[in-house]
A and B are shown apart, each in its own frame.
Chain A
């Protein structure tokens, strides 16, 4: 069983809409959770991290964590074509062990 599961997509949303990206994980001992954005041909870029249940907002991005249901999500409000990328979900265990999902491809249609 994979540690981190993401729907590979592709997910398409119109410009200005809300994009919702979801991730589930298997280990309840996971301590913190990260969302990365990766443009084609580039390395991943950290968008947000979250470690407490609930929502965390940063500009147009909101990360949501539900430890009881073992899922973490990323909402992108007012989606822009420049948000088109692959979004990677990652979690951290003790000892700096990180596990990445395979990523969800998002396309924002102008």
Chain B
């Protein structure tokens, strides 16, 4: 299958700082990428849809000023958690849509805010 990478895998930061997470499709171009969040023992929660060259579409209840998404190229989308707080601690997962319409997930980024 197609490969999607995320960086970093783990990040620990202090409350009030910002954290940037990168999502890359390594062997294909993706006009659409998704960002999910998953709390322990809970389901995936879609946060936003990231489309190359346009503004992201956020799901209801997700603050767009807090979770900044930039899809600068066909292989890279970034999620910046601004002014992170302990309640933002979670597992953030991106995915990319292949031309075949299959959705491939990155390995995830575990964020811990102290």
Question: Interface on chain A toward B: helix, strand, loop, or mixed SS?
Answer: strand
Q: Give the contact-size bracket for chain A.
A: 10 to 19
Q: In the complex, what residues of A have CB within 8 A of residue B103's CB?
A: 34, 46, 90, 92, 98
The chain B residue sitting closest to A97, CB to CB, is: B49
- Residue A1 at the B interface, CB < 8 A? no
Give 15 A-B contacts (CB < 8 Å), ordered by A residue.
Answer: A36-B105, A43-B93, A43-B107, A44-B44, A44-B93, A44-B105, A46-B103, A46-B104, A46-B105, A49-B102, A90-B103, A96-B49, A98-B34, A100-B44, A102-B43
Counted as pairs of residues, one from A and one from B, with CB atoms less than 8 Å apart, the total is 39
B33 to chain A, nearest CB (A): 10
Which chain B positions have C-beta within 8 A of A92? 101, 103
Contact assessment for A32 and B101 in the assembled complex, using a CB-CB cutoff below 8 Å: yes
Q: CB of A27 within 8 A of chain B? A: no
Q: Closest chain B residue to A90 by CB distance?
A: B103
B97 on the A face (CB < 8 A): yes
**Residues in A neighbouring B93, C-beta threshold 8 A:** 43-44
Q: B105: which of A31, A45, A96 is its contact (CB, 8 Å)?
A: A45
Q: Give chain A residues whose Cβ lies under 8 Å from the Cβ of B107.
A: 42-43
Q: Give CA–CA (A42, B110) in the complex, Å.
A: 10
Query: Are B43 and A96 in contact (CB-based, < 8 A)?
Result: no
A90 to B101, CA, bound (A): 12
